[in-house]
Structure 1
Amino acid sequence: MKDKELEVKEAMVAFKPTSHICQHLCAFHFYAHDLSRQVEAHHYCSKGEEDGVMFQCIIYDDDAPSAKLIGVEYIISRDTYASLDSEEQKLWHSHAYEVQSGMLYDPKGDSRADLPHMEALMTTYGKTWHTWQVDQGHKVPLGDCMVPE
């Protein structure tokens, strides 16, 4: 029994899913239903590489230790996007304009669109849900999940 308890404790401490986070990106998200609202979104992404998902990202409102977890985003390749039916494609957004405009950038490094890691993002698509509308001043996540533009 003692070995099983130790195994459980080690699994809890390992943080295996989050230990694979390899990229920090920042973006300004606008809510699809109200483009006058925007929120700073810090993405901490791990490589997916399974079933067409290139990255899976957890999104925070800041990069401080007290940051609030406000959403998730899945990032897929252009080929995977092209394989989706037209109704599903409506739920995804291109990253090309976000990178070119500077709305999606690497806060820890050079974010020019012509750099390899940023250039690669221009050929991807994202599907995002915000679970906490921090721009509304909510102390806890309230209401439905929101889809940013």
Structure 2
Amino acid sequence: MTRQIETHHYVTRLNQDFLQCAVYDFDDSHDRLINVEYIVSDKIFELLFPDEQKLWHSHAYEIKASIWVNPQIPEMIGQPELQNLAKNYGTSTCGLMVWEVICAEHGIDATRRYQGDNELQLKTRQIRVLRPDFPMG
């Protein structure tokens, strides 16, 4: 992955097969709502029409590659939920222009490479070692 920014997902589980996430760009008083993501189970995803499925993305890669981390939850406790989320699919309401602005603010340069020293970004390589058995999707 050549582009990566830190985002904060505040997740509400509406039922076993459906979650809703408010996505913010920071975790402080300057944060902005930048996206709303809807997450469905693989069971619901399989019921969607093929054209609709194209608008959804698997969370398997995000979790296996340690792009999705839960910094306040010990890995051992969070593993079961992450394994479940790896089988789910998400769709977003954010447009490309918004992401371009956010990337610039978070140290993603014109070549789409991270040019910063954010601890969470740099820690993802270490976390990947802890998730060798997660499916990649």
Normalization by structure 2: what TM-score? 0.64
Post-superposition offset of 1:41: 1.6
Q: Quick check: 1:57–1:74 contact (8 Å CA) kept in 2?
A: yes
Instruction: Tell me, in whole angstroms, the C-alpha distance in 1 between the residues paired with 2:2 and 2:84.
Output: 29
Alignment counterpart, residue 105 of structure 1, candidates 50, 69, 75: 69
Aligned structure 1 segments of 4 or more residues deviating by more than 3 angstroms = 35-38
Q: Of Structure 1 and Structure 2, which has the larger fraction of its residues in strand?
A: 1
Structure 2: unaligned runs, 5 residues or longer: 106-137
Choose between structure 1 and 2 for higher RCO, CA contacts under 8 A separated by at least 6 residues: 2
Aligned twin of 1:116:
80
Show the 5 A alignment for 1:1-149: 37-49=3-15, 52=17, 54-111=18-75, 115-130=79-94, 132=98, 133-137=101-105
* Larger-gyration structure (1/2): 1
Q: CA RMSD in A?
A: 2.4
Post-superposition offset of 1:37: 4.4
Q: Which amino acid aligns with 1:135?
A: C
Q: Which amino acid aligns with 1:68?
A: R
Instruction: Tell me, in whole angstroms, the C-alpha distance in 1 between the residues paired with 2:20 and 2:53.
Output: 18
Q: Quick check: 1:71–1:128 contact (8 Å CA) kept in 2?
A: yes
Aligned twin of 1:20:
none
Query: How many percent identity over aligned positions?
Result: 35
Structure 1: unaligned runs, 5 residues or longer: 1-34, 138-149
